[in-house]
Amino acid sequence: MNIFRRRVFDTYPDAHMTYGSMTTPRRKELQLEKTHYNDAIATTGITNIKENTAHVLYIKQFRKKIRSLHEATARKGRKEKNTQSKRNEKNTKSVSSWHLNDKVRVFGQVGWISGFSGQTCYVKNIQGDYVTVPDKTYKQVSFNHLELICHNNNWQFSVL
């Protein structure tokens, strides 16, 4: 953050610094509840708000693949990396026509495929909570219950 801050002020010399101690009273003055987007509104310096929108655009970055050092390089004392280990099976990027981070509708909810387990997958919503089968506690969802909305790269967008 320190490097980023310095680069911003070098690029934009007219920018102003703000801190949480200044944001909190400003947010309370505008009668906004404590959220990240309301803190962003409070830092802008506006004097009043006509209406607080109920819709928020969430943007979240998603991993493309599990990147662990033990899977990329051979361990100490070995000449080759251990690619036969079960832990490498979790690095699956797709199963049949389903891909990691596909946006899907399942049980009336919208989510993204976050991983695979055999012929089932894990689906998470934009907040990172698992979408589960109604009245069940396990997280795996069968591909039969999924409806593809769109293929994604590594960004997730949702309007709530």
Q: How many angstroms separate the CA atoms of 88 and 99, rounded?
A: 17
Please tell me the predicted confidence (pLDDT) of residue 46.
84
Q: CB under 8 Å, gap of 24 or more: what pairs does 96-101 form?
A: 96/143, 98/143, 98/146, 98/148, 99/151, 100/62, 100/64, 100/65, 101/62, 101/64, 101/152, 101/153, 101/154, 101/156
Please tell me the predicted confidence (pLDDT) of residue 90.
60
Please tell me the predicted confidence (pLDDT) of residue 104.
94
CB 32 within 8 A of CB 41: yes
What pTM was estimated for this model as a whole? 0.61
Which residues of the chain are under the pLDDT cut of 70?
64-72, 82-83, 85-91
Please tell me the predicted confidence (pLDDT) of residue 68.
60
CB 23 within 8 A of CB 39: yes
Please tell me the predicted confidence (pLDDT) of residue 119.
85
- Cβ atoms within 10 A of the Cβ of 121, count? 24
Beta bridge partners of 103: 112, 150
Please tell me the predicted confidence (pLDDT) of residue 66.
61
Beta bridge partners of 38: none
Beta bridge partners of 59: 157
Q: How many angstroms separate the CA atoms of 93 and 102, rounded?
A: 11
